[in-house]
Structure 1
């Protein structure tokens, strides 16, 4: 019998909800002897907010890449302690588009994502990356509520 999960994707942005998702994904990867893929998507699509799109895009990418490197190093540290195989990747673009693309291109069996628990007007204005990924991907998505996971 083959394992249910061979490749687990955990997108992270360094937030507490993402950290909760990393903990759950790491536990699952350890349990199923799966490879854990940690993905940081630098949201360069925010560059539409100004006239100087190239400058903003470059600045977002530079700052985002530095943050991504730091966040993924933290994931690498906890993963090494657990003895789980890890693949890390930094991409740019819209997270709700890049996460499903990465999952499809890398044969991901499960996506584990944190949720911020936004409701009401805040949810309507900002939406939910997790919600959009659930709609766009063809693989199961586990949504981890940081408040309920501890």
Structure 2
């Protein structure tokens, strides 16, 4: 059923919970696990801050997050492909899913509600609405 599973990560606890589910599913189905971290350069265009130094630091953290997932997946005996790219997260995730024949996307959700959700939006929600494949969302608290 699933040959290629994508798990986007930002290194957060919520993403780590999604990674657990993605690894479990990849084990069950013998799927390749694709681990993607998207660095959004528009988030670091604050006046007075050198965006290149901030981007370098964020990309380093993203690479470390992806490497941790890769180590866990390889320890479980999975095939793993990793990618760290710059872009708009929701669009980059859906494009990656299409371009790499992904069968399932597994993502964490921060569970924002009310005004926070309205003002901040949600990468996960945008992916759910626009992806051409199923998206499994995982809450941190599992409640």
TM-score category of the 2 structures, normalised to the smaller one:
over 0.9
Alignment of 1:1-150 (within 5 A): 4-50=1-47, 55-56=50-51, 58-148=52-142
1:60 is displaced (CA, Å) by 3.8
User: Could you state the TM-score of these two structures normalised by the residue count of structure 2?
Assistant: 0.93
Distance 1:27 1:144 in 2: 13
Of 24-33 and 73-82, deviating more is: 73-82
- How many residues end up aligned between the 2 structures? 143
User: Could you state the TM-score of these two structures normalised by the residue count of structure 1?
Assistant: 0.89
Mapped contact 1:40–1:90 kept (Cα < 8 A): yes
Mapped contact 2:39–2:86 kept (Cα < 8 A): yes
Of 40-49 and 122-131, deviating more is: 40-49
Distance 1:32 1:129 in 2: 26
Counterparts in 2 of 1:100 and 1:148: CA distance versus 1, 3 Å: same
1:142 is displaced (CA, Å) by 0.4
- Runs of 4+ in structure 1 off by over 3 angstroms are 47-52
Q: Choose between structure 1 and 2: higher helix proportion.
A: 1
Q: Which runs of 5+ in 2 are unaligned?
A: none
Distance 1:131 1:71 in 2: 22
1:136 is displaced (CA, Å) by 1.5
Mapped contact 1:113–1:130 kept (Cα < 8 A): yes
Distance 2:118 2:53 in 1: 28
